[in-house]
Amino acid sequence: MSDNVTEIKQPKLSEPMVAADGSVVRVDEEGWEYDASNESRPEDLREAKANRLRVGVIGNNLLASATDVAFNTKSTERKVVASTSDVDELIQWRPGLAVICSEIPLLKNDTLDDADFLNAVNKLVKQIDCGICIRSTLNIETIERLIMSLGPDVFDAKVIYMPEVNDSQSIGDVISADFALVGGGEKALPAFMQLIKHTTHISAQEVMTGTVFEVAYAKLGLAGFKAVKQTFFNQLYDTIMDVKNANPAIVRRLMEKSPLMTDRSTMIPTFIRARVNEEVSYKQARSYAGEYLNSDVRMLIGMTDKLSLLDECVNIKNLKD
């Protein structure tokens, strides 16, 4: 070999093996993987790998595991850390996107202990300009504090809120959910939706989008509605057992198929619907917490003291002008 020719040193590759994503790869001395079926030179493949999106996942729960699986594609590299207290380890790896799945502790006064969460987000954004996808449940107060710490412009450009709205304990059901909510700013949201489409296995049948605040209210509203619905059927069961003469299970089955169970008109506030009735004043309509002038409901609560939820809904005592 002449003196003016530089020898290109080719990495020594292992025998073909199956990688985590199911592809067949070869591995060099440093642990870099190369597609065994690709005829490109190893250095070209190394450059391609270096251009993959680095996704950091924060959490040690089902949601974090599902997120790790969802981003397990040939377009990404992934690193999982257990909690927001491990954010410095993640920062050293320098991800382009961090997905926060760890639960934010709830204090006894029902507010979030969000100091570690806010610190982690601020470090990721300010130190390495990382995009943030939050899957942990947030309340409005924490979102406001996050905006104050990052600034409105940075918040709108960097933060996506995608809370989990399904109760399944299956990773497959989380990735392929029937319904999903995604919130973000005008620029961040379209970019994130394209990322989800082309770089992940996430395939929700229906995705609804809005601002971070709108999605936060929707997430908490769905949880509240489920709690109210469950409490009602608990109390109806107690009523039937108290008043007697019927089987609670049969009564429930008789109700399940009724269109009223999915009646969307009940989602419109009562004081708005009440205005179609000229006999009900605005003050009266506002005073009702539930169905106004509904004799069936009043008849039901007149039978028993077990339906405290309906007592609050009708709230007859507030009808005084």
pLDDT recorded at residue 5: 47
Last residue of a domain, which of 210, 236, 269? Answer: 210
Reduce the DSSP state of residue 34 to 3 states and report it: strand
Last residue of a domain, which of 210, 231, 247? Answer: 210
The range of the structural domain enclosing residue 306 comes to 219-319
pLDDT recorded at residue 51: 74
Same domain, 125 and 158: yes
pLDDT recorded at residue 255: 95
Tell me the per-residue pLDDT of 203-256, one tens digit each, with 9 for 90 and over: 999 999 999 999 999 999 999 999 999 999 999 999 999 999 999 999 999 999
Q: Is residue 293 part of a domain?
A: yes
Dihedral class, residue 35 (left if φ above 0, else alpha if ψ from -120 to 50, else beta): beta
Same domain, 199 and 128: yes
Last residue of a domain, which of 185, 210, 235? Answer: 210
Element (H, E) at 1: none
**What is residue 8's DSSP assignment?**
P
* Biggest CA-to-CA distance, the chain: 103
How many domains does the structure of the chain reveal?
Answer: 2
* String of DSSP letters for 147-193: HHHH-HHHHHHHEEE---------HHHHHT-SEEEEEE-TTHHHHHH
Residues of the chain with pLDDT under 70: 1-50, 270-294, 314-321
Order of all β-strands in the sheet with 131-134: 76-81, 53-58, 97-100, 131-134, 159-161, 179-184, 206-210
Same domain, 261 and 278: yes
- The CATH number for 102's domain is 3.40.50.720
- pTM of the entire predicted model: 0.79
Same domain, 242 and 187: no
Tell me the per-residue pLDDT of 105-114, one tens digit each, with 9 for 90 and over: 999 999 999 9
pLDDT recorded at residue 40: 52
Same domain, 70 and 185: yes
Q: Is residue 185 part of a domain?
A: yes
Alpha helices in the chain (DSSP H): 42-50, 62-70, 87-93, 115-128, 140-150, 152-158, 171-175, 188-199, 212-243, 248-256, 270-273, 282-287, 295-301, 308-314
Q: Is residue 115 part of a domain?
A: yes
pLDDT recorded at residue 179: 94
Q: Is residue 1 part of a domain?
A: no
Same domain, 57 and 116: yes
Same domain, 31 and 144: yes
| Cα within 13 Å of Cα(136), Cβ side | 30
Same domain, 144 and 198: yes
